[in-house]
Structure 1
Amino acid sequence: MTARLRKLAHRLVAATAVLPALLAAPGAVAAPAEPAPSAVVGGGRLGQSGVQVSPLAGAPALPGDLTGQSWIVSDAATGDVLASYNPHLRLPPASTLKILFADTVLPKFDRNAVHRVADEEIQGIGPGSSLVGIKENLDYRVEDLWRGVFLSSGNDAVHVLAHMNGGIQRTVTEMQARADALQARDTTVVSPDGYDMDGQVSSAYDLTLFARAGLRNPDFRTYCATRSAMFPGAVDRTTGQRGSFGIANTDRLLGKYPGLIGVKNGTTTNAGSTFVGAAERNGRTLLVTVMHPASYQKVYDETAELLDWGFSAADKVQPVGRLVDELPAGDAEPTGQAGEASGLPEPPPHSSPSTPAASAASVPSAASASSGDGTDWISAGGWLAVVAVGAVVGAWALTVLRRRTV
C-alpha cells in the first residue's frame, strides 16, 4: 500500500511540469478577441456608432432633425449603403417582422388556394394585436389572407397562414433559418407576427435585407403596394349570403410619397414606431428603414426625408457599406436560437444624429456575440485548478510517506 501511494504522489507532483505546456497550447488560454471591422456584416463602418456618410463634391447634407435610434438608406439594386446611423442596433421590430414572415411563407401557397379556418388557428393571439377580422369555420383565399397581413397588419391572418405552414413554432424556426440564410445576424425570431416578446429583436440593416429579398417576389411587391381592398366578411344568417368589408393599408406614405412601392410599418409598446419603405424614381429603387424615432408620425416624416436625400445624393456619395447577398443553400450558419431570448443591449435614449449624444449609442455586431456549452473552463483556468490541486495532494502524500519512513 505504501509503494502504491508513493507512486501516485510522484505522478501528481510530476503533473505540475506540464502546466506551462498546457497553458501555451493553441487555444488553451484564448482570450475573447474584439471583432475586426471586416466581421461586421456589410462592412466595418456599419459597426461604428453615429452617422456614417462619405459625401463627395456637391452632395446634399443629411436632414438635421432625425430622431430615429437607428436608420439606413440603401440602393436596392446595387446593395450600396448610402448612409446609416447605428444600423446594427438590435431593437424590437414590431410588425415589420412580418416582412420576414412573408418572405419565408408566401412562396409556399398558391394565391388562389382556399382554406377553411379552424377555431384553434385564431387562438393565442396577443392582447391588443391588430386584426383584419378573420372568423372561424369560414373559407378564405390565400390572397385574401395576405392582404390581411400587408394592409391591416392582421396578426389573425399571420396565425392562420402559420398554421397552414405547419404551426407557429415551425414557422418561427423557418423564419430564423431564412434570416440566417440572408445573413441577418441581428435578428432573433420569437413570434411570427412581430408581437412584443422577450428577446425578439432585429435591426434596421436586417429589416432592409428582408425587404430587399421580399421585393424580388412579384406577389410580395403587389401586396405591399396595395392601398385598399375588399375582405371577406361573415355570412348573413337571414340571406345566407356572405358579405365583405373594406380594408386600407396602414402605411401613411403609400399614395402620398411619389414613387413609393410600400413595404411595411409597425408599432408596438416596446418597439415604438418602425418603418421600412421602398421608393422608385428615374429607374433607381431606394430602401429606407427607420426604427424607434421620437414619435409615431416621425417614422414617416423621417423616412420621407431620407428618401428625398437618397435620391438627391445617390451619385454624390461613396458607399459606407453594402447589403450582403443571400448565402448559397446549405451555407447559412445559425446565429440565434429561434424562440429563445438572448442577452441584448438596452436601446439608447432618443437623440438626434446631429448631437454629440447620438454618437454614444452602443452598436453590437453579430460577430461579438457568442455562446458556449459550459465546457470552455477546462481549456485554461480549469487545467490550472486541476494541476494545482494535484500538486497539493501529491505534496501532502509525500509528506505523509516521509513521516512514516522516519
Structure 2
Amino acid sequence: MHETSPLTRRAALGMAAAVIPFAAAPAHAATAVGGARLARDGVQGGGPPGKLSAAAWLVADHDSGEVLAAYRAHHALAPASTLKMLFAATVLTKFAATERHTVTDADLADVPAGSSLVGVKAGLTYTVEQLWQGVFLRSGNDAVHVLARMNGGIERTVAEMQALADDLQARDTRVVSPDGFDHPGQLSSAYDLTLFARHGLRDAHFRAYCATRGADFPAGGGRTFRIQNTDRLLTGELGVAPYQGLIGVKNGYTSDAGNTFTGAATRDGRTLLATVMHPRSGYNAVYEETAALLDWGFGRSSAANPVGVLVPPLSEGGVKAETGAAVGEGAPGRAARGESGGRSPWGVLEGAGGAIAVLAGGAWALRR
C-alpha cells in the first residue's frame, strides 16, 4: 500500500474542506484586528498618488506599530513565499548557525514539484547558516523542508507556525505548508504578513539574512556556487532600481498566487514596513508599488493620525482583539514605542542593504 506523505494528506484535507480559491475572498469575515478601519474594503488613509493595482496593501511604522494607510488589509489571499517570514520567525532561534546537518533523501521527499530551489543535495553536509541563506536569498523550498525536518517534521512545524500566528493575532492566516507553496486553504493577508515581518526583524539573524545580497553555497566536492537574493528592491536587478535604505524582507511568487512582497526600509532613524499582494500589472509591479508606498510613508508626517495599529503578541501582554462590526469606529490610540525609543535597532543597515550584506557577483556561477 502506498503511504501518503503528511503534507499530501493535509493538502487533500484542505482541498476537501476549503471553499476559498487561492486568490479570492477572505477565509472568514473581515476582522477588526488593529482597528475598525482596517476591516473596511476601500483605501484607508490616502496612500500614494495614482491607483495601485494590488489586491491588498498596507504601509506601517515599524517602531510605533501605527498603520499609515491600507487597502483591504485583512483580505485573505495566497501568500506564496512571503509565508517563509513566519517559518523563519518560528524556527530560526532553535539551531545555532554553525550547527551542521547531512541531508537525507527523506529530508527532501515532500518538496512540492515546481518549487523554487536553492540546490540542496542529499548526502551533502550544510551548516544551518547556509540553509537559512538558501531560504532567504533563493526562497529555496528544499532548504525549508530540511530545516522543518530538523525541527521535528512538517506537521510539527506547521502546527508551531500556526500557534505563533495565533499569538501574533494574525487571524487571517491559515498554514498548510512551511514553504508558502500553493495549497488549498493556505492564506494570509497584508496585515498578517506585516505582523510577521515586524516580529521577525526583532531578531538579529533574521535581519542579517534578509539584508544579505549574495553568498557562496555548497555544490559538493569542495566547490561552491554563487546565490543572489531574489529581492529586486535590495539588489536592483531586472529593471528595478535598488531602494534607498531597504533592509529586506521577503518576496514571493507562484503562478496561482501571483506576486507578493513585504519590504522594510530605514531613513533618518525611521523604519517603515510595506506589504503588497497580487498586483495586476507587470512582473515588477510588486516592487514598484512597494517603493511607492514607502516613498509616500516617508514623506508623511509621523504626527499624522494613523488608520490602525499592528497589535502586540498575546504572549507579550497584547489584548485579544475583538472581531466583527461591533468594534468602535475610528483609529486606535497611538501605540507605545519599542525598546529602541523610536530609533530603529538596525540603524547600521541604512543604505542599500547595509554593511553586512555580501556584495554578490552573478547568481549560480559555479566556484571552486
Query: For the superposition of Structure 1 and Structure 2, which TM-score range results when normalised by the shorter chain?
Result: 0.7 to 0.9
Task: Give the Å deviation of 1:125.
Answer: 1.1
CA distance in 1 between partners of 2:226 and 2:114 (Å): 21
Amino acid at match of 1:306: L
Amino acid at match of 2:278: H
1:307 matched residue in structure 2: 294
Task: Give the Å deviation of 1:291.
Answer: 0.2
Partner SS, residue 232 of structure 2: coil
1:41 matched residue in structure 2: 33
Larger Rg: 1
Structure 2 unaligned regions, length at least 5: 1-27, 236-241, 326-368
Q: Does the 8 Å contact 2:311/2:318 carry over to 1? A: no
Task: Give the Å deviation of 1:48.
Answer: 0.5
Partner SS, residue 254 of structure 1: helix
User: CA-to-partner distance for each residue in 1:291-326, whole Å, 9 max, x for gaps?
Assistant: 000132100000001100000014363100000001
Structure 1 counterpart of 2:223, from 243, 266, 272: 243
1:117 matched residue in structure 2: 103
2:55 matched residue in structure 1: 69
User: CA-to-partner distance for each residue in 1:267-306, whole Å, 9 max, x for gaps?
Assistant: 0122110000000000000000000001321000000011
State whether structure 2 residue 33 is matched by structure 1 residue 53. Answer: no
Amino acid at match of 1:265: N
CA distance in 2 between partners of 1:312 and 1:181 (Å): 33
CA distance in 1 between partners of 2:318 and 2:293 (Å): 34
Amino acid at match of 1:318: N
Residues 366 and 187 (structure 1), Cα distance of their counterparts in 2 relative to 1, 3 Å cut: farther
**Structure-2-length-normalised TM-score:** 0.76
Partner SS, residue 111 of structure 2: coil
Structure 2 counterpart of 1:318, from 289, 305, 309: 305
User: CA-to-partner distance for each residue in 1:131-184, whole Å, 9 max, x for gaps?
Assistant: 000111111000000000000000000000000000001000000000001000
1:88 matched residue in structure 2: 74
Residues 367 and 102 (structure 1), Cα distance of their counterparts in 2 relative to 1, 3 Å cut: farther
1:394 matched residue in structure 2: none
Q: Equivalences for 1:332-343 in 2 at 5 Å?
A: none
Task: Give the Å deviation of 1:367.
Answer: 4.7
1:327 matched residue in structure 2: 314
CA distance in 2 between partners of 1:329 and 1:216 (Å): 14
Q: Equivalences for 1:117-266 in 2 at 5 Å?
A: 117-235=103-221, 242-255=222-235, 256-266=242-252
CA distance in 2 between partners of 1:331 and 1:51 (Å): 26
2:272 matched residue in structure 1: 286
CA distance in 2 between partners of 1:220 and 1:167 (Å): 22
CA distance in 1 between partners of 2:304 and 2:42 (Å): 17
Q: Does the 8 Å contact 2:79/2:188 carry over to 1? A: yes
The structure with the greater share of residues assigned to helix is 1
How many positions carry a matched residue from both structures? 291
CA distance in 1 between partners of 2:149 and 2:323 (Å): 31
Structure 1 unaligned regions, length at least 5: 1-33, 55-60, 236-241, 336-364, 369-406
Residues 330 and 46 (structure 1), Cα distance of their counterparts in 2 relative to 1, 3 Å cut: closer
Q: Does the 8 Å contact 2:116/2:138 carry over to 1? A: yes
Between 1 and 2, higher relative CO (CA 8 Å, sep ≥ 6) is seen in 1
Partner SS, residue 328 of structure 1: helix
Provide the alpha-carbon RMSD of the alignment.
2.2
CA distance in 1 between partners of 2:306 and 2:289 (Å): 20
CA distance in 2 between partners of 1:71 and 1:331 (Å): 24
Partner SS, residue 221 of structure 1: helix
User: CA-to-partner distance for each residue in 1:172-226, whole Å, 9 max, x for gaps?
Assistant: 0000000001000000000000000000000000000000000000000000000
